[in-house]
Amino acid sequence: MMDISEILEHLPHRYPFLLVDRVLSIEPGKSIHAYKNVTVNEPFFVGHFPHYPVMPGVLIMEALAQAAGILSFKTLGEKPTPGNVFYFAGIDDARFKKPVLPGDQLHLHVEIERQMRGVWKYKAEARVDGQLAAEARLMCAKREL
């Protein structure tokens, strides 16, 4: 398990763009289970949508990618530095099955499918109350700046 202070050590993101609140389990080289508490205070809800707030799908994908970043850094035994980051490089087969609303706890499940020459591929799912909200295949690239 990782609390927010350890998450901050393994991700370069900060408020308002940090989208992982806690890691429940992590198996370096294999998988991670984390979550994001979705609250009505999120800045994106002001405009998406004012009368029916829904978490944007791109931010669900970003939350999954951030969980993948934590998994990747833990797998490598490294932490992000100003010259060492993972970039989001691709999304394939993205599907959105259920709206994510304020008050939901968005569970992020990410598995490493493969890694080669700094490019990582993952299978990712986001769930709310055990129901699939979104899924995709993600790709990230590790880069030295």
Task: Return the active site residues.
Answer: 48
Q: Are 44 and 56 in contact (CB under 8 A)?
A: yes
CA-based angle 47:53:59, to the nearest 5? Answer: 75
Q: Are 52 and 102 in contact (CB under 8 A)?
A: no
CA distances to 34, 46, 96, 122 from 136, in Å: 16, 26, 9, 8
At position 144, the amino acid (one-letter code) is: E
| DSSP symbol at 60 | H
Cα separation, 60 vs 93, in Å, equals 14
Which H or E run includes 74? helix 57-76
